Copies of this chain bind each other. A is one copy, B any other.
Amino acid sequence: MVKKRMTISPTEKNKALITEMLKAAHFRMTKPRTAILDLMIDNHGPFTIEEIQKILKKKSRISIDFATVYRTMRAFEKAAIVTKCDFGDGFSRFERTDHRSGHHHHHIVCNICRKTARVDICPVGDLINLAKSSGFDSITHSLEFFGVCGECQTL
């Protein structure tokens, strides 16, 4: 008789990591936070507030108020647990921060359905080719820089 393997629920599987992440940021371990982190560990995203809410409602049957999701995301962002993405369509999106030094990635966004694909290299020329090979068309890109200008550095 074959020994049946123990099935581990997603939450169970990620519990250690979640506990660690919340503890490191001095956050209390609550149901909404655990569920959100569990989702973001298993799925790359990025996710809008509404997506996070709906996915958790469907998959985990957990109802989280949207104000809580907003607050959680803001807190997580400040704690560098998540990174905000702005695709210029009026929705804030969030994904887990990539803490490997020097690592960052970009996205390609469908202008119709807003689906996103991850793009892992940066130089623009190569990126356009890679993006095209992912099946996207009519590609444009937006590149903006942020920083602190000379005047504000002395404030």
Contact = CB atoms under 8 A, between A and B. Distances in A.
Contact of A110 (B86, B123, B136, B152): B152
A102 interface: no
Q: Using C-beta atoms within 8 Å of the partner chain, give the interface range for chain A.
A: 35 or more
Given A86-B88, A112-B155, A140 B149 contact: no
11 contacts: A108-B144, A112-B148, A113-B149, A115-B151, A117-B149, A131-B147, A136-B150, A138-B148, A139-B147, A141-B146, A142-B142
Contact of A109 (B113, B127, B147): B147
Contact of A146 (B85, B111, B124): B111
B140 A146 contact: yes
